[in-house]
Amino acid sequence: MTQTDSATPLRSTSGFDLTPPSDSQRVALEADLSPEEKRVLLAHGTEAPFCGTLLGEKRAGVFCCRECGLPLFRSGTKFESGTGWPSFTEPVDPAHVRAVRDDSHGMVRVETRCARCDSHQGHVFPDGPPPTGLRYCINSVALSFVPEGAPLPDPLGRGDGTA
């Protein structure tokens, strides 16, 4: 994806503004993060398995990027993988999650990052259930949950709407 005109917002097919935060916006977003959130989102860390607060979340709604508020996964795509992290079969919009090759820890994996703020979310594996066969294994601390019908987090003031 490339942006040809900095005055024109980069939009996903679902209508969300994917333009990265400005430097000053990024400073404000990062200042709002806890030390653990910074370790995972900014330093590409991983929370301990079976400890995340969203692992057992079963309500209808949307899981958003904890840093910038972009909707990443719908509750209807969440499944119990037994891995200890919230797992999803597909993102809200393919343009919302960026895949990056990860060669760390002596293995080759696909890291998932928020397409808007580039924060680390987790990894995607090809061992998920139908219909996609994918398992987006995401850190709870990298997400915020918004119940269906509630306003989406909008720390960048982009008018993101409701879940």
Positions annotated as catalytic residues are 137
51 marked ligand binding residue: no
CA distance 163 to 148: 5
Task: Name residue, tokens 């980069």.
Answer: 10
CB 102 within 8 A of CB 121: no
Reported as type and span, the H/E element at residue 28 is helix 23-31
64 is in an annotated binding site: no
Length of the chain: 163
Strand, coil or helix: 27 = helix
Residue 149: how many other CB atoms lie within 10 Å: 9
- The residue type of 52 is G
| Spatial distance between the Cα atoms of 35 and 37, rounded to a whole number of angstroms | 5
Q: DSSP secondary structure string, 104-153?
A: GGGS-EEEEEETTT--EEEEEES---TTT--EEEE-GGGEEEEETTSBPP
User: Which residues contribute to the annotated binding site for Zn(2+)?
Assistant: 65, 68, 114, 117
